[in-house]
Amino acid sequence: MTDILNLNYAGDSPKPDCCMAYCSSCADKSGHVEVNTLKRVYYCFKCGVGGHLDSGDPLRIKRRAKEIPPRVHWEMEETWVGGMAEDYLKGRGFNEYLIKELDPHHGPIPHYIYFPVPNTKNYVDFWTARLWWKSNHSRTDAKKWLFPPGSPGASYRLWGVHRIPQDSDDVVLVEGIFDAVWAYNRLAIFGSSISTVQVNLIRSIHPKTIYIVLDSDAKDKVGGMVKKILNGYTCNLKVVIPPDGKDICDLRWDGTEYIMDKAEDW
């Protein structure tokens, strides 16, 4: 797992404005702090403190440095943080292959694992991050999932479009990337609702059958999603709602068989 700050962003946006800074936590001045003013984040690779520039955290930035120090990129598996993060993913039921598919990265905000979200051309222009550990110093309102600030949101993306074959017979829509990684025909919509942009991305694959598989607490969202998908479009559409209190990710590898068995025509 490597530094998420190195992910290339698509489009004609300017290159990230990286500059040298002093860490207010460990007072390091040797260039271990990396500041990205475009993404509004910073991280100290020496002490592990990081956050948003807009959060009010004290950070003195030296914008005019004679020389930008070489970037420090640790292999995450070789660190205590990386080992704990890997244990968290394995505890969720993911084996080495699935962890590789998720492609976890080290990020600027402590206690989050970052996951790239490639587009249809397998180019990374988005990320999401999962809170994997709460310490006694963590904010009580820390969100379970994070997305990049100041960019087109998750409703413009689908995790899994880089893996699914064009003209795939079946497409399975699930809520999150932890639900989607189990099979190549699954797409994560990042929640229990779907946007017009996401619908158009799904249609561009030309699936013959679309399965909607939401968590049990989102069954009331199915009707609206079906209406949006079928508006001006024709395909077979099936719906699967797991038993109350269960999510599709609880089914692990058996999820595919469960979906095929429990799917109902809409």
Residue 139 or residue 172, greater confidence: 172
Average of per-residue pLDDT values in the chain: 75
Helix, strand, coil tally for the chain in percent (to 5): 25, 25, 50
At residue 27, does pLDDT exceed 80? no
Question: Do both 30 and 87 map to the same domain?
Answer: no
User: Which DSSP symbol is given to 71?
Assistant: P
Beta strands in 110-179 (DSSP E): 112-118, 124-131, 145-146, 170-174
Domain stop point among 152, 183, 218: 152
> Alpha-carbon torsion 235, 200, 228, 155, what sign?
positive
- What SS3 class is residue 49? coil
Our count of domains for the chain comes to: 3
Pairing of strands 236-240, 209-213: parallel
In a domain, 180, yes or no: yes
The answer on 257 and 174 residing in a single domain is: yes
Residue 146 and residue 188 in one domain:
no
Task: Judge whether residue 137 has pLDDT over 70.
Answer: no
Pairwise pLDDT comparison (57 vs 178), residue with the higher score? 178
What's the average model confidence in pLDDT over 176-187? 93
Residue 47 in this model has a pLDDT that exceeds 50 = yes
Residue 244 included in any domain: yes
- Model pLDDT for residues 77-115, shown as the tens digit of each residue: 455 666 778 889 999 889 999 998 998 887 777 788 889
- CB atoms near residue 145 (< 10 Å): 15
Residues 259 and 202 grouped into a single domain:
yes
Report the CATH number at residue 92.
Answer: 3.90.980.10
Report the CATH number that the domain containing residue 212 is assigned in CATH: 3.40.1360.10
Task: Determine, yes or no, domain membership for 256.
Answer: yes
**Residue where a domain stops, chosen among 62, 86, 103:** 62
- pLDDT of residue 235 exceeding 80, the answer is yes
27 domain residue, yes or no: yes
Q: How many CB atoms lie within 10 A of CB 117?
A: 24
Note whether residue 106 is domain-resident: yes
190 within domain boundaries: yes
Phi and psi (nearest 5°) for 186? -100, 140
**What's the pLDDT score for residue 17?**
43
Listed residues 121, 152, 183: the one ending a domain:
152
pLDDT level of residue 128 (50, 70, 90 thresholds)? very high
Q: Quick one: CA dihedral 94, 130, 190, 123, positive or negative? A: negative
Q: In this structure, are 205 and 148 located in the same domain?
A: no
Domain enclosing residue 130, as ranges: 76-152
What integer pLDDT is reported at residue 166 of this predicted model?
81
Percent of the chain, pLDDT > 70? 63
148 in the same domain as 177: no
Residues 244 and 189 in one domain: yes
Instruction: Convert the pLDDT of each residue in 209-219 to its tens digit.
Output: 999 998 888 88
In a domain, 163, yes or no: no
Instruction: Please indicate, yes or no, whether residues 189 and 252 belong to a single structural domain of this protein.
Output: yes
DSSP state of 216: G
> What pLDDT is recorded for position 206?
92
pLDDT band at 25 (very low <50, low <70, confident <90, very high): low
> Which H/E stretch holds residue 260?
helix 255-262
What confidence score (pLDDT) does residue 123 get? 83
What are the tens digits of pLDDT across the range 189-211? 999 999 999 999 999 999 999 99
Same domain, 248 and 192: yes
pLDDT at 174: 93
In a domain, 131, yes or no: yes
